[in-house]
Amino acid sequence: MRAYNAMAGSPAQWMLLFCDWTLEHPPWQALDAALEQGAVPILTWEPWHAPSTGEFPSPVVEQPRFTLLQIAAGEHDDHIRAWAQDLARWGQDVVLRFAHEMNGNWYPWGAGVQGNTPEHYVQAWHHVRDIFETAGAERVRWCWAPNIPDGLTAENSGPLTDYFPGPEAVDLLGLDGYNWGSAGPAGWIEPSALFRRGIQELRSLGTDLPIIITETASAEDPEDGGAKAAWITQLFAHLQQQGDVRAAVWFHLDKELDWRINSSPRARTAYRNAVAQLGQEVMQK
């Protein structure tokens, strides 16, 4: 994280972590490290056993142990309760992003996978949150984070509103979206077009909950070395115009594509400049 902060030119305020259900306890070392660096940890809590290859989409989406109905019916209560009690004892601020991108079809809890429905998702969400409340995990904030409605999500997944557990059960609205460039079905897509429909659907929920872009990044354009840098500049400018979007988390990994902020010198410079400009505007306010 210190290396990332040095590249970005400013300390990160959020740190995104991914934990599947092979982990019996929260990742204490990473959580404490995030707090020491002044960042709020966002735990993406994935109810499955993730493949070690990290492939996307995963070749093992079908995992019968992890249907939403099984979660709602209490088949995993011991595991859920252990995490809830652990985080309650820890007593620090943490955001829990449970079963994200539920409107896609690339996870065992996803739309249409293993018979999952939006109703099943809402049931599972409430069941898990009830266990945390019973355990007294009061400093856990709940982030509901669908994927943007785009060509990657299942055609029959329905509107995001179908999966919403209700404002009383959610603290933060998340949204994931990537510019895959030539590797994706939509081709190169500018930030305003990428997030327009998703943000509109979140607003249609009629809540006053803050919105966080919980995952975003851009591919490089092999034919234009400055395209990603321009995309980063456009992203920050667009999100700053959205009064209810409070933060954005960059997916700083070389994974399916090289999403990192330093995938090229020009991308890194654009990111540093955008973060610096954002910091100046915050100080002025």
* pLDDT tens digit sequence for 83-136: 999 999 999 999 999 999 999 999 999 999 999 999 999 999 999 999 999 999
Residue 151 has pLDDT above 80, yes or no: no
Q: How confident is the model at residue 280 (pLDDT cuts 50, 70, 90)?
A: low
Token duo for residue 143: 């982030």
- Return the CATH architecture of domain 2-284: Alpha-Beta Barrel (3.20)
Phi/psi at 6 (nearest 5 deg)?
Answer: -65, -40
Residue 278's pLDDT is 83
Read off the amino acid at residue 214: T
Distance from C-alpha of 3 to C-alpha of 201, rounded to nearest angstrom: 36
Residue 5's pLDDT is 93
* Gyration radius from the chain CA atoms: 18
**CB contact set of 222 (below 8 Å; sequence gap of 6+):** 182
Distance from C-alpha of 154 to C-alpha of 249, rounded to nearest angstrom: 24
Distance from C-alpha of 216 to C-alpha of 175, rounded to nearest angstrom: 9
Residue 230 has pLDDT above 80, yes or no: yes
DSSP character for 154? -
Residue 115's pLDDT is 95
* pLDDT tens digit sequence for 175-222: 999 999 999 888 999 999 999 999 999 999 999 999 999 999 999 999
Residue 283's pLDDT is 39
